[in-house]
Amino acid sequence: MKPLDEIMKTTLLSLLPLLLATPVRALDAVPQDAPVADAPSFAIAERGPNHRIWTNSAGGTYEELATGMNFIDQTGNWAESSEEIQILNGYGVAQQGQHQVVISPNVNQAPATDLLVPDGLTRFQTHILGIAYFDASSGKSLMIAVTKDAIGQLVAPNIVLYPDSFTDLRADVRVVYTRYGFEQDIILRAQPPPPQNFGLDPNSSILQVWTEFLNPPVPQQTALILYQENDPQVRQAMAQPDLIDHALDFGSMTIGQGTAFTIGDNPQNPLTPDESTPICKEWNTIENRTFLTESVPYLALKPMLDTLPAVVAAIGKPSKNPRTAALKNSRRPVPRGERMESLMQP
């Protein structure tokens, strides 16, 4: 078995998920020697944003449901959504869906992604600032890696990869377009320097991904406490004693909770239950700039980080069982039932 990779899924913009449901009719028992009737022919009788209705020549009617199934095309009619990213003038463009997105050729641009939600009015223009440590005990924080120039590669019909996207840390950025959402991932290729290298306490340090949103709408926030410090003395001594995830609701889209996890060779089954941890997000405005901060405790990540090649300057020798880790940004607005991104003119 090949070594597992590691992925930390943080920022994801997606449509409000719907259950995928295909009505099934039970078959009546028939004798084995009964004549076989001609198979009925099927046709689509109706389309909507998240459904289509099928009829057949035998008089049957079936409804198929899926988030973001169809979008309104240039003729004003519903058409089946496509997850394909096309390259136009060097930019990745996905416009055959309820949300539309333009992806910059260089990850170090602002914005690097430009998304228009299904209402056709709201845009989410973002770019990653970097990766940081925050010490929840002392309140100290510092950026350990910032985004640098990296050219995107279309590695799958709906995936753009920016190799080696950060200074001082081996990590890639990956963006994924689907008919129901848009993901931004950070893939760690080596261990980050440990917090103690910067004078921080590893027991209370948090690894963070900072993404800037340019002139975004104001979301409704719902707080979910993942961990609460109940010791009064410990609480008083800490700058941030609790781990709180904030669900962000932008009306037509929402941003849900991310997850850090390991991935293996089989993309259909990437998760291993004992190697995953939730990621908290926070929406901040600092000096008139808006940031999405995605955080995970360093100690929760350390078992996964230890499987990566070690930082030579910090450890002195590479890991015997190197893996690839990824920070997956899963913060993206999710339209209720659909999603759309805005197009940025190159």
DSSP line for 43-111? EEEEEETTEEEEEETTS-EEEEE-TT-EEE-TTSSEEE---PPEEETTEEEE-SSSSEEEE-SBTTSSS
pLDDT tens for the chain, 346 residues long, are 233 344 445 445 544 433 322 333 333 444 556 565 567 788 999 999 999 999 988 888 999 999 999 999 999 999 999 999 999 999 999 999 999 999 999 999 999 999 999 888 889 999 999 999 999 999 999 999 999 999 999 999 999 999 999 999 999 999 999 998 999 988 888 999 999 999 999 999 999 999 999 999 999 998 888 787 777 877 777 778 878 888 898 887 888 878 887 665 444 444 444 577 888 999 999 999 999 999 999 999 998 888 888 865 433 233 333 333 344 443 333 333 222 222 222 2
Considering the domain architecture, whether residues 41 and 95 belong to the same structural domain is answered as no
**Together in a domain, 145 and 283:** yes
What gap in Å lies between CA 251 and CA 70, rounded to an integer?
Answer: 20
Residue 337 is assigned to a structural domain of this protein: no
Segments forming the whole domain that contains residue 58: 19-26+33-65
173 and 281 within one domain: yes
Task: Determine contact, residues 98/340, Cβ cutoff 8 Å.
Answer: yes
In a domain, 293, yes or no: yes
Do 41 and 120 sit in the same domain of this protein? no
CA nearest to 271, candidates 279, 281, 260, 280: 260
Is 208 in the same domain as 240? yes
In a domain, 70, yes or no: no
Torsion of the alpha carbons at 176, 134, 290 and 145, rounded to the nearest 10:
-60
pTM of the model: 0.77
Same domain, residue pair 261 and 188: yes
Confirm whether 340 is domain-assigned: no
Same domain, 50 and 139: no
Amino acid (one-letter) located at 97: G
Question: Do 119 and 243 reside in the same domain of the chain?
Answer: yes
Same structural domain, 204 and 247: yes
Number of structural domains, the chain?
2
Q: What is the token pair recorded at 179?
A: 């008919």
Q: What angle do CA 23, 29, 33 make, to 5 degrees?
A: 130
Indicate whether 60 and 146 sit together in one domain.
no
